[in-house]
Copies of this chain bind each other. A is one copy, B any other.
């Protein structure tokens, strides 16, 4: 198919597609002549994934580009590609390690990992962006006067572990080995809005049950 059709089928303007092509987040079409290129279903699918990451997953374009770049980096094995792709996901500000509440949060997070027995995370996790993000969030909550410690976090952590089990089961039952990395990335990024929405709906529902209306 040609650019116009790719645009129509994906709902993305030709100008934007050209932009993505320039950014290298969409493979060039098969050149069929000096002024024509041919796109196929794989291009359509990739384009849809890009838009999904951006629109639904709220990734900045540059981040989506980076993530996608790792997803099909043939010089890495599957594990590395996956790790790199997830590592590239957007993260908040760096924690200010000289801040007292950050240090305290650090201890609580460490303690949480110990309580949970997440030994792998404790060992490799030192540098994990997710760990840093967790520390920042906890420190922020504390600074706002909401005491938040390992005991309070643990129930959430156990719930999220169950969610992770479901995530991995989903990936296992599903995947065409070839696209496993892509599946994990999609599941990680696109389930986040699902979980967020479900939590907020559940809050409303539970709140209605408790307090009426």
Can you list 14 contacts pairing A with B, beta carbon distance less than 8 Å?
A45-B144, A49-B144, A52-B140, A55-B140, A121-B205, A125-B201, A136-B193, A144-B190, A146-B186, A155-B166, A157-B202, A159-B162, A159-B163, A164-B199
What distance in Å separates the Cβ of A66 from its nearest Cβ neighbour in chain B? 17
Which of A125, A159, A168, A201 has the most C-beta atoms of chain B within 10 angstroms of its own C-beta? A201
User: Which of B93, B153, B194 is within 8 Å of A137, CB to CB?
Assistant: B194
List of B residues within 8 angstroms of A198 by Cβ: 134, 153, 156-157, 160-161
Q: Is the interface of A mostly helix, strand, loop or mixed?
A: helix
The answer to whether A134 touches B194 (Cβ under 8 A) is yes
In the complex where A164-B205, A167-B203, A201-B134 touch, is A140 in contact with B56 (Cβ < 8 A)?
Answer: yes
In the complex where A48-B143, A207-B168 touch, is A130 in contact with B201 (Cβ < 8 A)?
Answer: yes
The answer to whether B190 touches A56 (Cβ under 8 A) is no
User: Which of B161, B167, B187, B206 is within 8 Å of A165, CB to CB?
Assistant: B206
The answer to whether A193 touches B155 (Cβ under 8 A) is no
The answer to whether A137 touches B56 (Cβ under 8 A) is yes
The answer to whether B194 touches A121 (Cβ under 8 A) is no
